[in-house]
Amino acid sequence: MDRKVVPELRFRFLWLAIGYTLVVLVIYLSLTSAPVDLEMNLPYEDKIYHALAYFTLMTWFSQIYHASFQRTMIALIFIIMGVLLEYLQSFEPGRYAEFGDMLANTTGVALGFIVTLTAARNYLVKLESLLF
C-alpha cells in the first residue's frame, strides 16, 4: 500500500464520467466498420493513434486512482482490453486484427504508466486547485 497522501478530487464523479466516455470512444473506434482516417499520411500513422489512445486512457485513470496496485490493475485491464478489441476486429468485414496494433496499444499503456511515476500524475488535482 502506498504511504503517500492520496489527494482527494473534488469532482471525482465528473473525471470518472469523462474517463469512461473515453473508454467507450476507444471501444467504438476500435470496432466500427468505418474507422476514422485523418489522412495525415504519416508512417505508422494508425500505430501512433493506437498508442495515443491507450496513453490517454492510462494517464487519465491514473489521475483518479493513485495507489500503485490500482494503477497496475488499470494498466493490465487496458492491455487486455487492447488485445481483446484487436481480436474482435477480425470479426468485422473489412477489418482485421494486427499484432502491431496490440503492441502499439500496450506501448501507450506502458508510456502512460511511466508518466504516473512522475509529478504529472496529479494534474487533475492541480487543475481543481487552480479552478476552485
Quick one: which H or E segment has residue 31?
helix 12-31
Average pLDDT, stretch 12-17?
A: 95
Is residue 94, in this structure, part of any structural domain at all?
yes
Domain presence at residue 6: no
Residue 5 has pLDDT above 70, yes or no: no
Model confidence at 1: pLDDT above 70: no
Query: Does a structural domain hold residue 12?
Result: no
Cβ-Cβ contacts under 8 Å for 98 (sequence gap 6 or more)? 86
The pLDDT of residue 28 is above 70: yes
Q: Is residue 111 part of a domain?
A: yes
Q: How many Å apart are CA 124 and CA 60, to the nearest integer?
A: 9
* Domain range enclosing 96: 24-31+44-131
Distance (Å, whole) CA 20 – CA 103: 23
Residue 118 is given by DSSP the state S
Domains in the chain: how many in total?
1
Question: Is residue 67 one of the residues assigned to a domain?
Answer: yes
In a domain, 13, yes or no: no
| DSSP conformational letter for 3 | -
- Percentage of residues in the chain with pLDDT exceeding 90? 61
Q: Is 5 a member of any domain?
A: no
The model's pTM is: 0.88
